[in-house]
Amino acid sequence: MFVKYKPKRNLLETILHTEILQGMALTLRRLFSRPITRQYPDEEIPVALGFRGQHALVRDPETGGSLCVACMRCATVCPSRCIHIRYHEDDGKRVVDSYDIEALRCVYCGYCEEVCPVNALVLTEIFEYAAYSRQPFHFDRDGLLANWDRFCRERNISPQEYVNPFWRPRGLPENRLPAGKRLQVPEDWTMEGQVVGSRYREALPNDGTR
């Protein structure tokens, strides 16, 4: 397919500058439409659920500590190797000594929260955090738990009900998930409620779920 050009302008159009006037008419029309600029930071920017932002360790409502079981999967999968975990074994059970994340090395890929078998780690939707030195970005375990508290407080999130899309990836069959990740999720996150094209919609039984 050869691309089409608009016809060359004739003498009258050259004299009258019609194409320039057309362009100016377009910009003039836009002058009266609603502005799309968002006045950040005066206005709050809506952040989508599952935005990969500041790191946090989920606080266990029973013990008050973290849920981490020191399986080391997050530290293994991390492409930038910014997660450092130390643990010791006590009676055959791993006890976390320290859990550190260097946020300045992190690439925010979200692999860690996806592979965590107990949903202990989350990349929260907080995207605005700045400091004057590097030290505040070196999160230890208490810092990460404090991040979770801040996240729940600022976004009015009930810690029991919050489900991050990377904890239980949308559309992933349940048998690919460990037991700890088979969470109760909204309808269209499951394979049964997945959105399909109009071509397939008629072929499927119409029971109101699709």
Between the alpha carbon of residue 48 and those of residues 16, 69, 110, 155, the distances in Å are: 49, 29, 15, 12
Q: Which stretch binds other proteins (CB under 8 A): 62-70, 94-102, 107-115, 135-143?
A: 107-115
Among 169, 177, 180, 185, binds other proteins (CB under 8 A): 169
Question: Counting contacts by CB under 8 A, is residue 50 touching other proteins?
Answer: yes
Q: Which of 60, 73, 102, 180 binds other proteins (CB under 8 A)?
A: 73
Cβ of residue 97: shortest distance to other proteins, in angstroms? 22
Q: For other proteins, which stretch binds (CB under 8 A), given 18-26, 89-97, 134-142, 147-155?
A: 18-26
Q: Distance between CA 60 and CA 119 in Å, rounded?
A: 11
Buried b (16+ CB within 10 A) or exposed e, 12-36: eeeeeeeeeeeeeeeeeeeeeeeee
**Closer to other proteins by Cβ: residue 3 or 131:** 3
Whether residue 85 contacts residue 102, with contact meaning beta carbons closer than 8 Å, is answered with no
What does the alpha-carbon distance between residue 140 and residue 98 come to, in Å, rounded to a whole number?
7
Strand order in the sheet with 138-139: 83-90, 93-102, 138-139
The answer to whether 195 contacts other proteins (rule: CB under 8 A) is yes
| Residue selected from 15, 26, 131, 179 as contacting other proteins according to rule CB under 8 A | 26
Chain positions contacting other proteins, by CB under 8 A: 1-6, 9, 14, 19-20, 22-23, 26-27, 36, 47-52, 73, 76-80, 107-111, 114-115, 123, 165-166, 169-173, 175-176, 188-189, 191, 194-200, 204
